[in-house]
Amino acid sequence: MSRFVLLNGPNLGLLGRRQPHLYGTSTLADVETLLRNRLVGTGATLDAFQHDVEGELVAFLGRVFLDHEEHKVKTLGVVFNPGAYTHTSIALRDACEILAQAGISVVEVHLSNVFAREPFRHHSYLSPVAKGVVVGLGAQGYALALEALLSHNGLA
């Protein structure tokens, strides 16, 4: 069985309640349902993980890589909102680069338009190693990222 991964970083477990004027009213559970529904009939599944701690996200991506390399779980792509770590984390960038070099595409997602916000949000350590970036389209951005990964895998 092949899967896609939905990965969310710090404070994104609060989606729906957290600053809805910036991030919308959909919860992370709503986003997961949206993506799971899209995968019906494709033969692929979704594994979702959220954590507030950088090292846990790095460790999770490390397991994605190892499981893929050892032919235990084939990952077709990762939809990743790294939250604030986008702007700070070389470790997460390295983890995404490891995946990219193993043939696992990562699409970076931001609910808000980070370029219309504070200057410190304009730089992403991850974007250079991501397959693509979806910014400012709210929860729909996750669905668009999955759509791109489906298409990339010939499943759209």
Q: Judge whether 91 and 138 are in contact, CB under 8 Å.
A: no
**Residue 45: exposure state from Cβ atoms within 10 A (0-12, 13-18, ≥19):** middle
Q: Is 110 a catalytic residue?
A: yes
Contact pick of 26, 75, 89, 112 for ligand DQA (by CB under 6 A):
112
Stretch that binds ligand DQA, among 34-42, 53-61, 88-96, 110-118 (CB under 6 A): 110-118
Given the structure tokens 């899967």, which residue do they identify? 3
- In sequence order, which residues have a C-beta less than 8 Å from that of residue 156 and are 6 or more positions away? 147, 150
* Three-state SS at 86: helix
Q: State the binding string over 21-60 for ligand DQA (x if CB under 6 A, else -).
A: ----------------------------------------
Contact pick of 48, 84, 137, 155 for ligand DQA (by CB under 6 A):
84
Our finding on whether 124 is near ligand DQA (CB under 6 A) is no
Stretch that binds ligand DQA, among 64-72, 79-87, 88-96, 126-134 (CB under 6 A): 79-87
